[in-house]
Structures are given as structure tokens and as C-alpha cells.
Chain A
């Protein structure tokens, strides 16, 4: 399978008044055409910020500070030689003008978020909002790379006019029909009727379906799904996951699925990246990560989940808490060393990614190519002093 997106050394930082927070720290991975890539991590691991960095939606005081985001798009590479990779196939998204980059949202990248209720405008019907997304894409493809044409006739003046003159809407009938069609494709019964309803009349699961429909409006190459089922009950989650997989297979899209739930990862993904404290600590195929984890954090994460089919008497959690990611508290040391049951002296230095036997499988850990050496193990209380304040 060919790469569609290559992320190299992405770092995103937040600069608040009293601290610098290294939310994403030199992260590298690739997304291939037609695959589902899972990014898994606990809260504060930087997985959502990674996704937002891809589509340039990191809010101030956050900032992407380093790295390249190579997107396979030869026409763009031709138009912007200064941003193009030497092979002529890829462009670095960070080097593109903002307007061009924005125009990629929709036809190239689409996003669905955790909370569908706050992703829809409560005062517009669901159909109208999806039709808008369709319209934006239609206008964009009519005159590519022009933001103006996409929002043409959609300023404050026309908004006021809409209120007075009936039938002067931004969207037309064709877009509405397409919206109903999309709603039907995501399994919403009576789509014609539901399109005329407001978000609060939808249940959580139905609204999540509607958000997927909206994301599909631009026929994206990469769908970024940020915790798409976290707010949902388990039976509804099963429906949405099923839907996502069907859609992915039908359209041969790539999906970047971000979640904290290893079960969801196992059900959906081809390849997995595990994040901890802003770094990808391990990545590989589903089998590599679940059956043959190298990094003690991955092992700990898997050991923490009670198994539904085999209730072991005792869980094997990772001791300690997720670090704060503040630059002044983190220092330069290896981030996981203070919680790691196999911490050695070599772990005090920041770790780079090392590949394991399998070329797909890599871990940011000494253990990837060295065996555990009890002789250089750090004493249990090594990190204890000075941890207060």
C-alpha cells in the first residue's frame, strides 16, 4: 500500500503564561491509502493535538513548532515547488499558504469529533448543515484553491438578506438532495424527514451518524476520527464502528482513528501507534502491538484492561500518574522512566525510535534492541526525592 501522508518529527507546543507544554514531541508516522491507523493513548498523551496539528486546527497558545507533514498530491507539488518534496509526489503541508491548506479540509481531510452535540449549530437543521458542507465542496471544486468562491454570498449582508427575502439560501436544492442521500448512507432512517430536524431532536448515536455524513460531504481521502464513540453507549458504539468500517471499505478512504479504548483499536485498525507524554512510544501492526509489545508502557496498558472473556484475579497496572508535560517539569530525561518497571540507567536520556525485528514495528525504548539488564536497573526510589512541588 502506498503512503498518502507521512509525518516526520512533528512537535506541537503550547505557550501559556507560566509554562511551556510540550504536547506533541517529535512524532513520526505514516498513513497509507485505504487503511485504518489507530492512535491510542491516555488523556494528555497528545493524541488529539496530533490530529489537530495535521489539519492546522491547533488553537493559540498552541503552535506547531517543528516537523514536516508530507501529503501525496502531485498537482499541488507542481504548483508549489518550494513546498514540494524532491520526488515531486509529496508536498509539505506546513509550507503551503494558509488558504491552500484550508482548501484541503473537506476534499482531503475530514474530521469527526467526540461530542456531536457541540459540533452542530443548535439553531440550524441537521440537513441544512450537511447541505452547507456539500455546497462548500461543490464551490471549491468549481474554482479550486479559492476560499473566496466557497464563501461567496455568505457574509453578514446576505445573512441579513436571507432573513428578509425568502428562498435566498446559501445552499440549493441539489445540495439538500445530496445531504439527504448522505444521511441515508450513514443509516439514518427517514432521512428526508430527519434532515429537517434540529440537532437536539437527534439522539447521541444518530447525531454521530449525521456528523459522519457531514464529514463525507467532501469525499475526503483521509478521515480523522477523534474519539468518535467515547460519548456513546456500548451498543451504539458497536453500530458506529460498524458504520465507519463499511464506509471506509466502500470508499477506500484512509482513517486515522484516535481513541483511548484498546478494544476499539483492536476491532478497527490495521496498524497502531501508542502515544505517551506526547511521544509515539510504539507503533506497528495490530499483531505487533497487541501480541508482541516491546515498550513497557504498551505492556502496562494492555495489562491494565480487565479481560471480558478471561477475568484474571489481578490487574497489572502501571504505577504512578500521567506526567504534566510542562517543559520545566519534564526536563530532558526519558519520559516514561519514572513509571517504568524496567527502568535502567540508559533510560535517563531521551529515547529515539528504534525498530524491532519486524520492519513495521518500532519502539522508543532501549528494550527494542537491547535486553533488560538488571545490573544497571535504577533503584525503586530513584525518582522519589524532589517529586514534591
Chain B
């Protein structure tokens, strides 16, 4: 693997963002509390996802049946045990109620198999974000070029491409996704976790000592299951939205005189699309992308919930698993559910921030000498 320098990535990114855009992004972030909140949420989710083996207190797949269904901090659970006893020659039914209190070791409780909920929620962020981001990227990669071509060339090309899009839109996305999963199978790719295989997580966790003499329990899953089919499926299901938005933008932008001007200068169609149509369509596409990330996180959860995902460390999967304990251990489903809600809100807030900051019309008109 080539040596990776984060500074060069930063420079590459800022080269692509004009100083004006950077200024707008900053001032919009400064002035909007909601934007700050959204960015904050996303950073927490992102850090959890990337550094999960370093942050998660327990191995999320380690089952300790003795500690199963522990409540989260601040709650307790009553477990009634019914037994039959012989008292004076008669069989009596004895109910014994046992109160199980929360422990600091499992702040969000444990599930039915005694797996630590906090660790599972942290690891679940990986699946959700990876599927959300990669699925959106795939949907964009398919949808945006189709939409731009459709809107730029108009006519027959447009008719043909948009009819295909209409047909795809006619299917409910979940049904289509299930059909596609059925078609492709539940392929997952096991990606080795670099933090674990390099021994880094083990080393770092050994350094930390927790109050009360506790130490981080060792051992983290060495691989991470990436639900490949799901990513493929959400990409195929969601490209239409990108195609439609990109087409609408391209239709509008291609009527602008600077596009005619560029053609008059001899710019080829490919050049015009790349240089003028795409940059001027990018804001609504980016905003749509954030909405789509949120939607795809939800779709992934639905697929996991229904058991079509193949990933066993995912918010949706845990909600499904927690469903049967709804009455006795609500947190098994509620904790990952809360994680989904907060993440989706965060992504949407970031989308609003981008939409407000990237609108080129907010820069004042003329007047300067």
C-alpha cells in the first residue's frame, strides 16, 4: 500500500473547493447552531465507526450468557422466576422476583446473548455508514452521468433514459431490494480490521486503565463483514433519484448562455458537461446525497431487520433481534434505534448546511469597482 499522507488529501480537497465556497461554508457553520449540531453528530458517528476497536469496551460478539439482558444505566429489570416447591406435601407455586441492576461495565446494557449493547452500537455505526456512503456513491456514480447526459442532450436520449428511470421508480424500493438480494444472494465480504490485525488495538487498550481496577477486556473481532450485496442493491435502487435531480439541473443549466458561449468557443460536449453543467448542478446533487445517505441507512436497517443483509453487526440486525424482547428488555431494540434516529438527523442537518452554504446566489451582486 502506498504511504498515505493526510495533508496531501487535505490539499487535494481544498484545491477543489474555491476560497469563496470555503468562506461560505465557514460563515454558515458559524451562524447556524443546527449546522454545528449536525457536524458534531456526524463526527461522533464517524469516529465511532472508524476507531470502533479502540473505543468499544467489549468485543461486540463476545457472548456471556450470565450477564444477558442487563438493563442500561439508570434502569433495572425485574425477573420473576416461578418454581414449584413441595411444602407440607403440597405442591406450591412460588414466585421469586429478582431485581437485576445495571452495571457500569455495560452502560447500555446487554442483549439476549449477553453481548454488550454499547459495543454493538459502536460497531453498528460501521455497517450503517459504510453502506450509507458506499451505496450513495454507487447510486451517484450510476445516476449523475445518466441524468446529466439526459438533460444535456434532451430529445430521444432523454426520453429513453427517463422512461427507464420511471419504470425503476414504479417499484417500491424495499421490494426491489429484496428481489435483488434474492437474485444476488447475501454475499458479504469479510474485511480484515487493520487495528486488530496489526495488534494496535490490543496494545492501546492495554495502556488504558479504567477506574475501579477494571481493565479493558481484550479480544476484538479480527474481520468485519461488509454487506456487499446490500451496497450493490441500494445503489441500484437509489440511482434514479440522482438521475432525476441531475437531469433537472442539466436541463436548466444547459439553457444558460455561458453554455452556449462555451460551445461557441469550440468546447466539446464532454468538455461542456464536465466544466459547466456538472459544477453548476453539484449543489442539489450534494444535498440529495446527504438525504440519500440517511435514506440508505434506513433501507439497510430495514433489510437487516428483515434478515436480508448478511451482516450480523448492524443496527437493523439488533433491532430485529430485540423485537422479541420488546416487553422485557426494550433497550435491545431501542439503543440501535436511537442510534439510527440520531445519525439520520445529523446527516440531514449537514445536508441543510451544505445547501445553504453552496448556493452561489448568496454572494452579493455586483457593485464593487
Contact = CB atoms under 8 A, between A and B. Distances in A.
Quick check: do A and B touch in the complex, using CB within 8 A?
A: yes
Interface of A: 320-321, 323-324, 326, 329, 387-389
Nearest to A383: B369
12 contacts: A320-B369, A321-B367, A321-B369, A324-B366, A324-B367, A324-B368, A326-B367, A329-B367, A387-B369, A388-B368, A388-B369, A389-B368
Q: Which 3 A-B pairs have the closest CB atoms?
A: A324-B367, A387-B369, A321-B369
A103 B368 CA distance: 42
Interface string B332-369: 00000000000000000000000000000000001111
Nearest to A384: B369
Nearest to A322: B367
A303 B369 CA distance: 23
Nearest to A387: B369
Contacts of B368: 324, 388-389
A326 B367 CA distance: 10
Nearest to A18: B364
B356 to A, nearest CB: 14
Contacts of A387: 369
Contacts of A389: 368
Contacts of B369: 320-321, 387-388
A126 to B, nearest CB: 30
Interface size class of B (residues with CB under 8 A): under 10
Contacts of A326: 367
A388 B368 CA distance: 7
A279 to B, nearest CB: 18
Contacts of A324: 366-368
Interface of B: 366-369
Contacts of A388: 368-369
A307 B241 CA distance: 56
A59 B146 CA distance: 44
Nearest to B369: A387
Q: Which of A320, A323, A324, A389 has the most CB of B within 10 A?
A: A324
Contacts of B366: 324
A199 B294 CA distance: 45
Contacts of B367: 321, 323-324, 326, 329
Nearest to A44: B367
A328 B369 CA distance: 15
A387 B369 CA distance: 7
A322 to B, nearest CB: 8
A329 B368 CA distance: 10
A323 B367 CA distance: 6
B34 to A, nearest CB: 18
A320 B368 CA distance: 11
A321 B369 CA distance: 7
A321 B367 CA distance: 8
Nearest to A326: B367
B367 to A, nearest CB: 4
Nearest to A320: B369
B303 to A, nearest CB: 46
A2 to B, nearest CB: 42
A119 to B, nearest CB: 24
A155 B367 CA distance: 44
A324 B366 CA distance: 8
Nearest to A338: B369
B293 to A, nearest CB: 32
Contacts of A320: 369
Contacts of A329: 367
Given A326-B367, A387-B369, 11 more contacts: A320-B369, A321-B367, A321-B369, A323-B367, A324-B366, A324-B367, A324-B368, A329-B367, A388-B368, A388-B369, A389-B368
A238 to B, nearest CB: 30
Nearest to B368: A389
B301 to A, nearest CB: 41
A22 to B, nearest CB: 14
B363 to A, nearest CB: 12
A366 to B, nearest CB: 24
A324 B367 CA distance: 5
Nearest to A324: B367
B80 to A, nearest CB: 62
B19 to A, nearest CB: 14
B23 to A, nearest CB: 13
A198 to B, nearest CB: 26
A321 B365 CA distance: 13
A32 to B, nearest CB: 36
Nearest to B365: A324
A387 B366 CA distance: 14
B278 to A, nearest CB: 31
A329 B367 CA distance: 10
B330 to A, nearest CB: 47
